Amino acid sequence: MSVAFDEKVHKTLADANLQLAIYRATGRLIDHRKHAVAATALPDYQELRTQANALKRHTIEHLDHYLEQFEANLTAHGGKAIYCQDATEVADFVLGLAKERGAHLIVKSKSMTTEEIDLNERLEHHNLESVETDLGEYILQLAHQRPYHIVAPALHLTRYDVGDLFARTLGVANETVVERQALIARAVLRQKFLAADIGISGANFLVADSGAVLLVENEGNARLTTSAPKIHIAVAGIEKLIPRAQDLAVFLKLLGRSATGQALTVYTSFLSGPRRAGEIDGPEEFYVVLLDNGRTKLLADPGKRESLYCIRCGACLNHCPVYRKIGGHSFPWVYSGPIGAIITPQFMGIEHEPSLPFASSLCGACAEVCPVKIDIPKVLLELRAEVKQAEERKGANRLERLAFKIWAWVMCHPRIYEMAAMAAASVAPAENGKWLRSAPAVMNLPPVRAWLSQRDLPPAPAKSFRELWRKR
């Protein structure tokens, strides 16, 4: 485990208020989802999951075809597809367009893909003002933090944190009533919407047969972002494609329910190109950035390709016993929880945070609630194997190998195992649950210390299992 990861985990575990906030928020989301997908509310839930998985599998297996189909239909409706390989290419495209059009102010709706490429920072570096407009994302931008959760980005902050933050950054009175805080944000952001030159959104789905971008949201900020400014740019990972508009009937029924327990989010926008002749309002220019940024690396691996099926509902985070303890900011990248644990190493390389695939109990809750049926535990196991193989190539884990060899040998020799157990029991005090940790000689070995930092051997029982068994 890297020092940074270890430190963040321990800091989160020690913060009682934060523990409560994470537990409450995820617990509520679990509850809402449970009711929304219950057999009485959605009788064909399992069939919909199967269909969603089949659709995603088909699209990903033929992604080149659907990218070209999407591009052709988008172009036919007057939009433009911009292929980008990485963060720099996206920033260069936006900067170039802003310069050509004399644009200064950008409004943004929530998008994990733009978080992934630090788009705001890159644009602000070139003196463009880029304002997040989702309430949670706006708070985080003012606080210079990254999202804590895919769906509930500011779940770790209290209304008192927000009151202080607004007072400090916006020069308003310290307001701790949430309704009034929302009104403050509404007033500031409404002016930004009406003055903005460019709106940047993400995309929940790209619809190939329509050349359309689909967005779901509850606040209306994505509608404003895509309707008010003269230019709309949607930034989407290439894996967001689905074949047909009609397939939305499947995905929309799953996405809102899995994320927040809503049958449909308040707003669902299906956008295909700029304003057409006769239409009264809407953007005059419409661009869709199709971003690779490591996705084709992942695509090349048939065993783990399914990681790209993800529709970012966040259900796996809420149901993960590890996420619920260590929170979102312990994870090394913008994607947290089980889905973050499988896509981060594949996007960034396993050397980026090699302990990430091990930060899981493999309980399988994530796979059970995934609306597109990604087998996250299977992918985690494959990644663990890769990490170990890489270490072996470097000859890095000799000590661990030796320890397990000795362990295996002892376990294969019952007499010796029994003697070792008796020896251990003779030094172990019967009451102390931290006995190994209180032995300084043991704790001086760094790998042993790391292992024991969160656990210990239980106190020795009066009689061993083997003794009891023999007496039967």
Partner 1 sequence: MSREATLNKVRTALGRSAGQGIAAPPPVRLRVEAHLEAHLEAHLEAHLEAIDMEARIASMLRAVEALAGKSRRAATGEDARSYVGAVLDGRSAVASNAPFLRECGVVDLAGVQSGFTDAAALRALCATAEVGITSADYALADTGTLVMLASPAEARLISLLPPVHIAVVPKERVLSGLDELFTILPHPAAQTSSMVLITGPSRTADIEQILVRGVHGPGEIHVVVVG
Helices (H), 146-213: 159-170, 178-195
Tokens of 291: 């971003």
Which segment (178-186, 195-203, 310-318, 389-397) binds partner 1 by CB under 8 A? 178-186
Q: How far is CA 371 from CA 32, 54, 97, 315, 405, in A?
A: 15, 12, 37, 8, 41
Residue 59 or 360: the one with the smaller Cβ distance to partner 1 is 59
Residues 106-145 that bind partner 1 (CB under 8 A): 133-136, 139
Does residue 189 bind partner 1 (CB under 8 A)?
Answer: yes
Residues 86-105 that bind partner 1 (CB under 8 A): 89
Does residue 280 bind partner 1 (CB under 8 A)?
Answer: yes
For the bound state, the minimum distance from the C-beta of residue 354 to partner 1, rounded and expressed in Å, comes to 24
Residue type, 135: L
- Pick from 130, 141, 221, 346 the residue near partner 1 by CB under 8 A: 221
Contact 321, 13 (CB under 8 A): no
Residue 43 or 429: the one with the smaller Cβ distance to partner 1 is 43
Task: Kindly state the number of chain residues that form the binding site for partner 1, as judged by CB under 8 A.
Answer: 100
Residue 270 or 404: the one with the smaller Cβ distance to partner 1 is 270
Return d(Cα 422, Cα 168) in angstroms, integer.
63
Return d(Cα 383, Cα 113) in angstroms, integer.
23
For the bound state, the minimum distance from the C-beta of residue 62 to partner 1, rounded and expressed in Å, comes to 4
Return d(Cα 82, Cα 97) in angstroms, integer.
12
Residues 351-370 that bind partner 1 (CB under 8 A): none
Residue 274 or 354: the one with the smaller Cβ distance to partner 1 is 274
- Pick from 8, 10, 11, 62 the residue near partner 1 by CB under 8 A: 62
Does residue 272 bind partner 1 (CB under 8 A)?
Answer: yes
Does residue 281 bind partner 1 (CB under 8 A)?
Answer: yes
For the bound state, the minimum distance from the C-beta of residue 35 to partner 1, rounded and expressed in Å, comes to 13
Does residue 85 bind partner 1 (CB under 8 A)?
Answer: yes
For the bound state, the minimum distance from the C-beta of residue 210 to partner 1, rounded and expressed in Å, comes to 4
Return d(Cα 23, Cα 294) in angstroms, integer.
32
* Cβ burial, residue 372 (10 Å; 0-12/13-18/19+): buried
Does residue 299 bind partner 1 (CB under 8 A)?
Answer: yes
Phi and psi based region of residue 220 (left: phi greater than 0; alpha: psi -120 to 50; beta: remaining): left
Residues 194-213 that bind partner 1 (CB under 8 A): 194, 207, 209-212
Residue 253 or 384: the one with the smaller Cβ distance to partner 1 is 253
Tokens of 342: 């499988």
Which segment (184-192, 330-338, 382-390, 460-468) binds partner 1 by CB under 8 A? 184-192
- Pick from 253, 304, 319, 324 the residue near partner 1 by CB under 8 A: 253
Does residue 4 bind partner 1 (CB under 8 A)?
Answer: no
Question: Which residue is associated with the tokens 């523990």?
Answer: 19
Residue type, 420: A
For the bound state, the minimum distance from the C-beta of residue 250 to partner 1, rounded and expressed in Å, comes to 6
Contact 175, 163 (CB under 8 A): yes
Dihedral through CA 425, CA 429, CA 435, CA 441, nearest 10? -70
Residues 7-36 that bind partner 1 (CB under 8 A): 21, 24-25, 28
Which segment (276-284, 314-322, 382-390, 455-463) binds partner 1 by CB under 8 A? 276-284
Does residue 292 bind partner 1 (CB under 8 A)?
Answer: yes
The packing angle between helices 337-348 and 376-393, to 10°, is: 40
Return d(Cα 275, Cα 231) in angstroms, integer.
10
Residue 269 or 330: the one with the smaller Cβ distance to partner 1 is 269
Return d(Cα 326, Cα 287) in angstroms, integer.
38
Q: Residues 96-134, buried b or exposed e (16+ Cβ, 10 A)?
A: ebbeeeebebbbbbbbbbbbbbbbbebbeeeebbbbbbb
Tokens of 423: 């020896």
For the bound state, the minimum distance from the C-beta of residue 192 to partner 1, rounded and expressed in Å, comes to 11
For the bound state, the minimum distance from the C-beta of residue 207 to partner 1, rounded and expressed in Å, comes to 8
- Pick from 8, 10, 11, 77 the residue near partner 1 by CB under 8 A: 77
- Pick from 68, 351, 368, 467 the residue near partner 1 by CB under 8 A: 68
Contact 297, 291 (CB under 8 A): no
Does residue 261 bind partner 1 (CB under 8 A)?
Answer: no
